[in-house]
Structure 1
Amino acid sequence: MLSFEDMKIKTIITGATGMVGEGVLLECLNNPDVEQILVINRRPGGVTHPKLREIIHKDLMNLAPIEAELAGYNACFFCAGISSVGISKEEYKHITYDITLGFGQTLAKLNPDTTFCYVTGAGTDSSEQGKVAWARVKGATENDLLKIFKNGYMFRPGFMKATEGQKKIKSFYKYIAWLYPIGRALYPAGFCTLKEVGQAMIKAATKGYSKKVLEVKDIVELAKA
């Protein structure tokens, strides 16, 4: 088991060209507890920093060409993902479950004690028996990742406020961002910031947390710890 006392991390981030991944990356760049960052992108992310290295790799199902470069990291913030809207159930399962589990299995082989933080979403179905297909797939992904990583944490954010300076913000978020302060005040269990998500991931990797599945209230609590 990892010792979390005064721990510094070297982390891999996936999905850094998306909204969630970019928000997490910004927190890692600004946090002194993060010593090194490796981002794996399908296309250049356009970010440079002394502690940041980028690998352009389009097929996360085939990690053989870059496998050797994934060794030596003690954290992974897996932010890659896709909405279930507009795609088949089979494609959604392949991207959400198959690719994530394949990546996780490779990483666990190389870095067995790594802390793996996976972004799922509010409403994920841990029972894998519910009526909502995407929630079942997310639940299966969470459950099987936790079998692989003893230091695994599943993050279930709800509505997330983007961090100031972010460029990769989903278009519809720009139009409904005004809802955030109202939602946070009236329903805090459903609203958090991407800053809090990134900070909570870093805290999970450096200090640990009592729960393996983090709902919004847990994310906010851990970010403040």
Structure 2
Amino acid sequence: MVPTKFSKHTEPAPMKIIVTGATGFVGQAVVKECIETPSITSILVLTRRPINETLSTNTKVTTILHDDFEHYPDEIIERLKGAEGCIWTIGGKVEDFPNLETAKKVSVDFTIGAAEVFARSLGVALNTGRARKFKFVFCSGRGALWDETKSLWMFGETRRLKGQVEKRLFEIEKRYEKEFEVTVLRPGGVLNAQQAKWQNLVGMMVEVVSVEQLGRALVATCLGRTNEGKKILENEDILRINL
């Protein structure tokens, strides 16, 4: 599928954004894409440990070391002020964590805790100063399910956790409808460019996307360039997005 270039003039693009999960596969791709995007002049990388040196030494990048993703003291909020959006890539499959409790803490509690704080502080401040909404772009996963009672035979716990995050994010958006805007991307399997190309050529049943394309899609969404009005973008939508 050939990516579609959406209009770059639907609304003013954010100039300063927050990126989380930048030590991970998807997060690194997002930071690289932000660096290569001229309209993004400042990237605030919120991380528990140092990121790749090639990325961290770029003049656009400011690394903010933060140990506790459940709490945001005033000094952290002060450093994040002026950001107009956040691309959140923290999380993963339940199988990536020692147990379900840890998976829930990282995937659900960290995400919702940050969204609440960003809406209440960064979003309200942004709306007051420039009548803009703070954009929160969440990297979810294919098959995320909002109904926690439904029985699932494949990746059930992961899909339920992703769905729980999505549902609660949109609840926050509803409470802060003038200041906070949520968009969710649901990629299928995330591979490097060569792997994704091979998978698509042989016609595998599993939907996939290259990490580079996912990075582009997340950044384009945060910039307001997806231009379709969708709140949840599935894998096929992600494949169509280009900067």
TM-score by length of 1: 0.84
The one-character-per-residue Cα deviations of 1:79-113 (angstroms, maximum 9, x if unpaired) are 11143115322221111111110011111112222
Shift of 1:72: 1.2
Q: Tell me the SS of whatever aligns to 1:34.
A: coil
Answering whether residue 61 of structure 2 is matched by residue 52 of structure 1, we say yes
Number of residue pairs aligned between Structure 1 and Structure 2: 208
Shift of 1:188: 8.2
Counterpart Cα distance in 2 of 1:68 and 1:23: 26
Corresponding residue of 1:130: 150
Structure 1: gaps of 5 or more residues: 164-176
Q: How is 1:28-177 mapped onto 2 (pairs within 5 angstroms)?
A: 28-45=34-51, 46=53, 47-64=56-73, 65-85=75-95, 86-112=97-123, 113-131=133-151, 132-149=156-173, 150-162=180-192
Counterpart Cα distance in 2 of 1:5 and 1:187: 37
Counterpart Cα distance in 1 of 2:238 and 2:168: 21
The one-character-per-residue Cα deviations of 1:12-65 (angstroms, maximum 9, x if unpaired) are 000001111001111010011212100011111122111110011111112114
Corresponding residue of 2:197: 181
Percent identical: 27
Cα RMSD (Å) of the superposition?
2.1
Structure 2: gaps of 5 or more residues: 1-8, 124-132, 174-179
Does the Cα contact within 8 Å between 1:11 and 1:73 map onto a contact in 2?
yes
Counterpart Cα distance in 2 of 1:147 and 1:187: 36
Change (3 A) 1:81 1:93: same
Change (3 A) 1:134 1:8: closer
